[in-house]
């Protein structure tokens, strides 16, 4: 477990970011943590453009060019929420470090320019506490096969595993196995935030 001590006393500009391959399999702990803390819950899938949804539904993995504008949009949502004093739980796979950097810094964390406005100055940052939910390919695959009504088919799991860059120091994070039951996952998250 690695996390910086700012976790215990969350500032007004903090978001919890549960991550990992097919994070939506564990959306309940994310939603429940948000409810327990009284924080606003956002599901990143709700903000995918239609082109991304169509691509995934056809079994085509997303690439950086597909994801970066979506991540920049999520950064803007987080900035607005935290600027109004709202703390946030954002459920998002954020598979690579660069993706998490974009969520923190927006276009300044991206290898391309997401913002065409030409604004200059210090980027507005969001403080993220990453809860990396991990599990075996077999367990995640088994859960994916039981999932109904989502645009991402189980065949894309391997592409998510291949893309994954688990969080590491100096990122502010903990790792939790999805082998644990729901109450253990939530207890671990809540304990870390105390």
| Domain spans of the chain, in order of start | 11-113+128-193
Does the pLDDT at position 133 exceed 80? Answer: yes
**30-88 pLDDT per residue, tens:** 567 778 888 888 889 899 999 999 998 898 989 999 999 999 999 999 999 988 988 88
What is the chain's Cα-based Rg?
16
User: What is the Cβ-side half-sphere exposure of residue 154, based on CA atoms within 13 angstroms?
Assistant: 12
Distance CA 50, CA 179 (A): 33
Full-model pTM: 0.79
Strand ranges, E, within the chain: 14-19, 40-43, 88-91, 127-134, 173-177
Provide the pLDDT for residue 96: 93
- CATH homologous superfamily of 11-113+128-193 equals P-loop containing nucleotide triphosphate hydrolases (3.40.50.300)
Confidence grade of residue 168 (pLDDT, cut at 50, 70, 90): very high
């Amino acid at each position: 477990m690695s996390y910086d001590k700012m976790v215990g006393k969350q500032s007004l500009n903090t978001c919890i970011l549960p991550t990992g391959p097919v994070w939506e399999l564990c959306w309940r702990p994310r939603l429940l943590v948000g409810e327990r803390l009284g924080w606003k819950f956002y599901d990143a899938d709700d903000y995918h453009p239609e082109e991304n949804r169509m691509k995934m539904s056809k079994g085509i993995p997303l690439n950086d060019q597909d994801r970066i504008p979506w991540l920049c949009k999520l950064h803007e949502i987080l900035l607005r929420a935290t600027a109004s004093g709202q703390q946030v739980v954002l459920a998002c796979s954020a598979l690579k470090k660069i993706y998490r950097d974009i969520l923190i810094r927006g276009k300044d964390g991206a290898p391309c320019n997401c913002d065409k406005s030409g604004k200059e100055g210090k980027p507005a940052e969001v403080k993220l506490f990453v809860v990396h939910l991990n599990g075996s390919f077999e367990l995640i695959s088994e859960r994916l096969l039981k999932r109904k009504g989502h645009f991402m088919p189980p065949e894309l799991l391997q592409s998510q595993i291949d893309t994954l860059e688990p969080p590491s120091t100096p990122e502010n994070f903990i790792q939790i196995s999805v082998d644990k039951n729901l109450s253990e996952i939530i207890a671990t998250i809540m304990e870390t935030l105390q």
